[in-house]
A and B are shown apart, each in its own frame.
Chain A
């Protein structure tokens, strides 16, 4: 418990649409430890994205308590919220969300522009390192429209990890990719996780979910099951990984 990245206590989120009230989250309580790789599954409309938005400090719950690395984020101001997103969280989206007509390098640099403590030179170096890490060293100066979907998502991952976040949140990161490319992407997530980064990933596919060490199922804004992953395997070379946080056998 002492190294929890995320602690949720009875988180609720209500949306009002005119007279109708939607309970998108209906009392979520959970703890995620540093270094975990968690998959979130569940049918459409079960509240996965709502939960991710709250975890990512993009949105505030209607009720409940959220501790991020021990800090109660409800009490933070809007600017502090932005700072938390900038320093502690990396986002990966289904639709990549890269800036058009902007090189991969500059896309990756983006979060560092909002960090006063990092000089332009440093940020360029860090962006290069991040791109190298996702295997796009030779595509640094490509613009998004000259990259494949998988490559674009790798740029987005590089952008998420450039700030060395405590947490990477990925909402259906492989939703727009074919299964082969999805595997490449999952491999990158796996490697990041092995290097110690906590990852929470939303997916509809069992194959993808099974890369994680822990799988949450959601239904109607509640977590209905919370299981260890079925097994952490790499399909591409067939070798099995042991449990825990992925030491190769």
Chain B
């Protein structure tokens, strides 16, 4: 029999049993749809994290203390933790470094004028606002000199300014952080919420040296933010920083680094690795539902073969070969799964659009996954359709015609 005839017959039979066909395809529709949506949501959150990290600043490198352990004990004693000197040395010995700033972060209650507010206090150097692309909207930022003399000055994020000094000009006012008074020099321009919905303006910046002595009471800093002069210089910059840090920490040749230099790509990879795992997991779970959809097709096809035993016998009597019958049922299964797959794709696209428009969930439709899940649904049809189809093709025409 011609293939076009077979396809035509398959479609006719499926249309004759509209309700059943739709219900059978539903398994595949949901399977394909959920695979695509899950992967889209996963890809979307990866993208969010990437954007977030990219927004940290351009040509960014972050130096942090090496957390490598031996036998469960941190190797790094006090001597090889990061200090303000390390930041200075990087600026001194690494010419491709444009800006470098120490970084400390402390959560603290900030009080002013009867108002109080819980926020993060950053200890940084003036380079920090260049590295992280902050602007000053009011007043000024503190200077290197302020940093050196540990002046008790601060710059407020917009949110903090609004909370502590509603309707007032905060410049020149005093805020108290753990009972230490800081004079407000300026207010940062608002950045708004980041892609995770976190308020980026909820912070206070103060000279790193001041924060260390007055607030955290520690000689050490958490990390050093560095910006290279250009993208091209990134790898040069990394080598230079490595050298500078080894000099700063007085490491002998043969001794391993006691610090790590994180490039933006590495940070992105680290941060997205959980999202990638999650995407794969969600996709796999959705894949199982697609498999279940396939079993649904097999189930219905088996019922259909039994119900249509007489029809099969008749078709054989009027000249259908075993392979014609096999093809007919195989194509019916294939049509169910392919149509189901197409509807699943449409459903997934609609749901993804809906998520993007009506929720804060970011769903990015991946063409590769669409093609993959479509092909997979087709294979599901062939795979699960084959057994019932073969059962039909192997019927004996006489028995089939006598079937009650």
Chain A interfacial positions (CB closer than 8 Å to B): 53, 56, 58-59, 78-79, 82-83, 85-87, 91, 93, 97, 99, 101-102, 110-111, 113-116, 120, 159, 163
Enumerate B369-399 residues with CB–CB distance to A below 8 Å. Answer: 397-398
For residue B50, CB closer than 8 A to chain A, the reply is no
Enumerate B261-304 residues with CB–CB distance to A below 8 Å. Answer: none
Structural contact, B321 and A79, CB atoms closer than 8 A: yes
Structural contact, B322 and A116, CB atoms closer than 8 A: no
Complex CA–CA separation, A40 to B398 (angstroms) = 19
Enumerate B308-367 residues with CB–CB distance to A below 8 Å. Answer: 310-311, 313-324
Q: In the complex, what residue of chain B is closest to A114 when comparing beta carbons?
A: B319
The distance from the CB of B317 to the nearest CB of chain A, in whole angstroms, is 5
- A-side contacts of B1, CB under 8 Å: 113-114, 116
Structural contact, A101 and B16, CB atoms closer than 8 A: yes
Structural contact, B398 and A59, CB atoms closer than 8 A: yes
Structural contact, A114 and B401, CB atoms closer than 8 A: no
* CB contact between A58 and one of B12, B321, B322, B398 (< 8 Å): that residue: B398
Query: Given A113-B9, A116-B2, A99–B319 Cβ distance below 8 Å?
Result: no
Complex CA–CA separation, A93 to B403 (angstroms) = 14
Please list the 3 inter-chain residue pairs (A to B) with the smallest Cβ-Cβ separation, ordered nearest first. A86-B319, A111-B318, A114-B319
The distance from the CB of A181 to the nearest CB of chain B, in whole angstroms, is 22
Structural contact, A82 and B310, CB atoms closer than 8 A: no
Structural contact, A53 and B398, CB atoms closer than 8 A: yes
Enumerate B11-33 residues with CB–CB distance to A below 8 Å. Answer: 12, 16
- B-side contacts of A110, CB under 8 Å: 314-315, 318
Q: In the complex, what residue of chain A is closest to B308 when comparing beta carbons?
A: A99
Structural contact, B311 and A91, CB atoms closer than 8 A: no
Complex CA–CA separation, A174 to B316 (angstroms) = 23
Complex CA–CA separation, A248 to B323 (angstroms) = 47
Complex CA–CA separation, A78 to B96 (angstroms) = 82
Structural contact, B401 and A93, CB atoms closer than 8 A: yes
Structural contact, A115 and B319, CB atoms closer than 8 A: yes
Q: In the complex, what residue of chain B is closest to A116 when comparing beta carbons?
A: B2
For residue B168, CB closer than 8 A to chain A, the reply is no
* CB contact between A85 and one of B9, B317, B401 (< 8 Å): that residue: B317
- B-side contacts of A159, CB under 8 Å: 318
Complex CA–CA separation, A105 to B31 (angstroms) = 39
- A-side contacts of B324, CB under 8 Å: 82, 114
Structural contact, A91 and B317, CB atoms closer than 8 A: yes
- A-side contacts of B316, CB under 8 Å: 58, 82, 85
Complex CA–CA separation, A181 to B311 (angstroms) = 25
Q: In the complex, what residue of chain A is closest to B16 when comparing beta carbons?
A: A101
New A-B pairs, 7, CB < 8 Å, besides A83-B319, A120-B5: A56-B317, A82-B321, A82-B322, A85-B318, A101-B16, A111-B318, A163-B319
Structural contact, A82 and B319, CB atoms closer than 8 A: yes
- A-side contacts of B397, CB under 8 Å: 58
- B-side contacts of A83, CB under 8 Å: 319, 321
Complex CA–CA separation, A101 to B313 (angstroms) = 17
Structural contact, B311 and A114, CB atoms closer than 8 A: no
Query: Given A113-B9, A120-B5, A82–B320 Cβ distance below 8 Å?
Result: yes
Query: Given A97-B310, A101-B16, A113-B1, A91–B318 Cβ distance below 8 Å?
Result: yes
Complex CA–CA separation, A125 to B2 (angstroms) = 18
Give 27 CB contacts A-B under 8 Å. A56-B317, A58-B316, A58-B317, A58-B398, A78-B321, A78-B322, A79-B322, A79-B323, A82-B316, A82-B319, A82-B320, A82-B321, A82-B324, A85-B316, A86-B318, A97-B314, A97-B401, A99-B314, A101-B16, A110-B315, A110-B318, A114-B318, A114-B324, A115-B319, A116-B2, A120-B5, A163-B319
- A-side contacts of B320, CB under 8 Å: 82, 114
Q: In the complex, what residue of chain B is closest to A162 when comparing beta carbons?
A: B318
The distance from the CB of A120 to the nearest CB of chain B, in whole angstroms, is 7
- B-side contacts of A85, CB under 8 Å: 316-319
- B-side contacts of A116, CB under 8 Å: 1-2
Complex CA–CA separation, A85 to B9 (angstroms) = 20
- B-side contacts of A115, CB under 8 Å: 319
- A-side contacts of B318, CB under 8 Å: 85-86, 91, 110-111, 114, 159
The distance from the CB of A55 to the nearest CB of chain B, in whole angstroms, is 13
- B-side contacts of A102, CB under 8 Å: 12
- A-side contacts of B16, CB under 8 Å: 101
- A-side contacts of B12, CB under 8 Å: 102
- A-side contacts of B2, CB under 8 Å: 113, 116
- A-side contacts of B310, CB under 8 Å: 97
Q: In the complex, what residue of chain A is closest to B324 when comparing beta carbons?
A: A114
- B-side contacts of A101, CB under 8 Å: 16
Complex CA–CA separation, A120 to B3 (angstroms) = 12
* CB contact between A113 and one of B5, B314, B317 (< 8 Å): that residue: B5
- A-side contacts of B313, CB under 8 Å: 97
Against A, the Cβ 8 Å flags (1 = close, 0 = not) of B55-83 are 00000000000000000000000000000
Complex CA–CA separation, A92 to B267 (angstroms) = 78
Complex CA–CA separation, A186 to B12 (angstroms) = 34
Complex CA–CA separation, A111 to B321 (angstroms) = 12
Complex CA–CA separation, A175 to B192 (angstroms) = 87
Q: In the complex, what residue of chain A is closest to B2 when comparing beta carbons?
A: A116
Structural contact, B319 and A87, CB atoms closer than 8 A: yes
Complex CA–CA separation, A159 to B319 (angstroms) = 12
Complex CA–CA separation, A111 to B318 (angstroms) = 5
- B-side contacts of A59, CB under 8 Å: 398
- A-side contacts of B398, CB under 8 Å: 53, 58-59
Q: Which of B311, B319, B322 is packed against the most chain A CB atoms within 10 Å?
A: B319
